[in-house]
Amino acid sequence: MTTDNAAVPSDVTSATGPTGLIIPALPLTPEAFAPFGQVVQAYADVNAVPSPRTTRITGANQGTAIKFHKLALLESSYPAGAGATAGLSVYRCNPIDVLTGGLWTVKLLERHPYTNQAFIPMGAGEELPQPGTRYLVIVALNGEGDRPDLATMRAFVAHAGQGVVYNTGLWHHPMAVIDKAMDFTCVETQIGDGSDADCEIVNLDESSGHYSVQLPIAL
Ligand SMILES: NC(=O)N[C@@H](O)C(=O)O
């Protein structure tokens, strides 16, 4: 799945602060996230499903459920013989050190060249009785020199009813959970040998100041 950088709206306001460019963390919506991936969630009003309405919505489970079909498809393009397998993992993500309304510095981005990657919040349970309810989604498209195009960096605040799917090869920051720990199920294809084929990380150059994400005052 490829994305045209031009598809990323350039009208997002940003400011230059002491740490470099400041990017506002905006509410995660399928439309805003479309250049980067998909949002996995249900909708209280089935007519609220994002437009253009391409999601198939049906009753399920003998009428006791509503199914929002295939909000994202699983992708894998590992070379034959790479030994990659698709699976589900769980990440217990500790919160980042930031206050609501505060600035959080983006120092690295990663990508997965051969797979898209889903993170689905798992909610409360005996293992995590009071999980967090918000997490940051920080993304950027690929640019010159096969490195992140930082002009396309965007930040979103997702709530615990939203999962996120990063497009194959999309630059993104590792899960950044706000306030309290959260468990996520991660769906991806991996070899699992720690190679760049699975996950490539770039440390962002701080010569012109790190990019910072501005969290909203109210979450
Ligand atoms: N995305 C994220 O949080 N981490 C994974 O991609 C990983 O490879 O650890």
Ligand 1 atom 1: residue of nearest CA: 174
| Check: complex ipTM more than 0.90 | no
Q: Is 217 helix (H, G, I), strand (E, B) or coil?
A: coil
What ligand 1 atom has the least distance to the C-alpha of 188? 6
**Does residue 44 have a pLDDT over 50?**
yes
The CA-CA-CA angle for residues 156, 209, 112, to 5°, reads 50
- The pLDDT score that the predictor gives to residue 36 is 98
Class of domain 15-41+73-214: mainly beta
pTM of the model: 0.90
**Does residue 52 have a pLDDT over 80?**
no
Tell how many helices (H) and how many strands (E) occur in the chain. Answer: 1, 17
- The pLDDT score that the predictor gives to residue 100 is 86
pLDDT category, 11, cuts 50, 70, 90?
very low
> Which one of 36, 92, 110, 120 would you pick to mutate in the ligand 1 pocket, going by the greatest count of ligand atoms within 8 A of its CB?
110
Ligand 1 atom 4: residue of nearest CA: 174
> Which one of 36, 92, 115, 117 would you pick to mutate in the ligand 1 pocket, going by the greatest count of ligand atoms within 8 A of its CB?
117
Ligand 1 atom 8: residue of nearest CA: 199
**Does residue 48 have a pLDDT over 90?**
no
- H or E stretch covering 31: helix 30-33
- The pLDDT score that the predictor gives to residue 217 is 87
Question: 85: CA distance to ligand 1 center in Å?
Answer: 16
Which residues, judged by CB distance below 6 Å to any ligand atom, belong to the binding site of ligand 1?
110, 117, 174-175, 199
- The pLDDT score that the predictor gives to residue 17 is 54
Question: 188: CA distance to ligand 1 center in Å?
Answer: 10
